Amino acid sequence: MTLTRRSLLKNALLAGAWYGAVGRSFAQASSPEVLGQGDFKYRVVPGWGVLDDKTPVNDCHGLARTADGQIVLLTNHVANNVIFFDGAGKLAHKWTGPKFPGAHGLALVPWKKSEALFITDLNLHSVFKIATNGEQLGEWHLPANTGKYAKETDYRPSWTLHRADGEFYVLDGYGKDYILHYAADGSFKRLLGGAEGGIVHWGPHGGMIDTAADQTETMLIAMSDQQYLLRLDLDGNKLAQTDLPGGNPRQIRRMGQHYVVAHLADNWPKDRNSRGFLSVLDANLRVVSNIAGSAPVYDTVGKLLPMKHTADVFLHPHDVLANPDGSLIVAQFASGKTYPIKLERV
């Protein structure tokens, strides 16, 4: 417990430095401005998701949507780590069973006749499987005898990626940059990536298993500080890299035939007070709209020119969720303890 408290204090001090004057003064977004370009333009829905002081948040890290349409928010506020919103942004229910002081990544997967959450915790150095009612179903620490870690606390998993057959991958995005592969029964299979696999540190933050029209599955990873997306096959081999200069992709999600990326900030970590934006990408991972950001411009050889935020709407977008009606939900890190922002498509 001493280690956890020390980690919490360290993280709080770092977060305080990151907030700066911008973070301390940031209010919940309510801009009436139309954001984005081309076919993907949005407007903030004022007040959506804003709750009272009985349900505070700290950093808002992960998002998911249940089969019945509730929005699930993961925050590292240990009084209520998991908050469920209804479609109108009102509180449906919340819980903290096991407390997650370093709550970070969130995934929702089918489980029996219901659903389960996979939560990564940076401070507890573990991955947890939790029923939607808060019951703990499984826990994964650093596997023994990998030969790659001097101590268990070097392992700081950031997100999990899930295949349709139940197998899953864990990104050690804040630790050693390995990708841990697990069987559907939860048994450890192998270690991929890492420096020897060409995975750069402060890179593999979030991602998804991307299924092509022919049902081929690949890993599509948001490489945060490296400012690109990385596509790997399921053996960890590099297939493609998509540069996103000026951004800082923390998570990528499917949106029909498109994708949407949450950029934490402009050129983070050089400017920790820069605000960030969202990018919409087409099926070929070409940026077609930047929401609260500059219009995407490609040069004559197809290279994307550096992007930047242009409207003070977001502050450190960390995850983004696309709804069936075309709206978006955005969770933000180090944003002055603000609730998720909803964007309606216009």
Spell out the domain ranges in the chain.
Answer: 2-345
Q: How far apart are CA 308 and CA 295, in angstroms?
A: 9
Q: Would you state the torsion angle of the CA atoms of residues 244, 237, 173, 24, taken in this order, to the nearest 10 degrees?
A: 10
N-to-C CA span, the chain: 49
Is it true that domain 2-345 has CATH number 3.30.420.40?
Answer: no
Q: Which two tokens stand for residue 245?
A: 């200069």
Q: Read off the pLDDT of residues 147-161 as tens digits, 9 standing for 90 and up.
A: 999 999 999 999 999
Question: What are 72's strand-pairing partners?
Answer: 64, 84
Kindly give the residue spans of alpha helices, DSSP state H, lying in 27-130.
none
Q: Which two tokens stand for residue 335?
A: 């944003």
The residue among 136, 47, 132, 52 whose CA lies nearest residue 93 is: 132
What is the pLDDT at residue 82? 98
Q: Which two tokens stand for residue 105?
A: 């990544």
Q: Each residue of 309-320: b (16+ CB within 10 Å) or e?
A: bbbebbbbbbbb
Q: Which two tokens stand for residue 330?
A: 């955005």
Work out the pLDDT band at 26, boundaries 50, 70, 90: low
Question: Residue 89 in contact with residue 79, Cβ under 8 Å?
Answer: no
What percent of the chain clears pLDDT 70, i.e. is strictly above it?
Answer: 92
Question: Residue 223 in contact with residue 230, Cβ under 8 Å?
Answer: yes
Question: Residue 242 in contact with residue 223, Cβ under 8 Å?
Answer: no
| Whether pLDDT at 7 is above 90 | no
Q: Calculate ∠ Cα 74-77-78, nearest 5°.
A: 105
Q: Read off the pLDDT of residues 268-305 as tens digits, 9 standing for 90 and up.
A: 988 888 999 999 999 999 999 999 999 999 999 999 99
Q: How far apart are CA 200 and CA 106, in angstroms?
A: 22
Q: Which two tokens stand for residue 114?
A: 């219901």
Q: What share of the chain is helix, strand, coil (3-state, %, to 5)?
A: 10, 40, 50
Q: How far apart are CA 187 and CA 181, in angstroms?
A: 9
- Better-predicted residue by pLDDT, 82 or 23: 82
Total length of the chain: 346
Q: How far is CA 312 from CA 33, 44, 264, 322, in A?
A: 10, 12, 13, 21
What percent of the chain clears pLDDT 90, i.e. is strictly above it?
Answer: 88
In whole numbers, what is the pLDDT of the chain averaged over residues? 92
Q: How far apart are CA 240 and CA 303, in angstroms?
A: 15
Q: How far apart are CA 273 and CA 99, in angstroms?
A: 29
Q: Read off the pLDDT of residues 237-275 as tens digits, 9 standing for 90 and up.
A: 999 999 999 999 999 999 999 999 999 999 898 888 899
- Better-predicted residue by pLDDT, 220 or 17: 220
Contacts of 224 (CB under 8 A, 6+ apart): 173, 202, 203, 204, 205, 206, 248, 249, 250, 264, 268
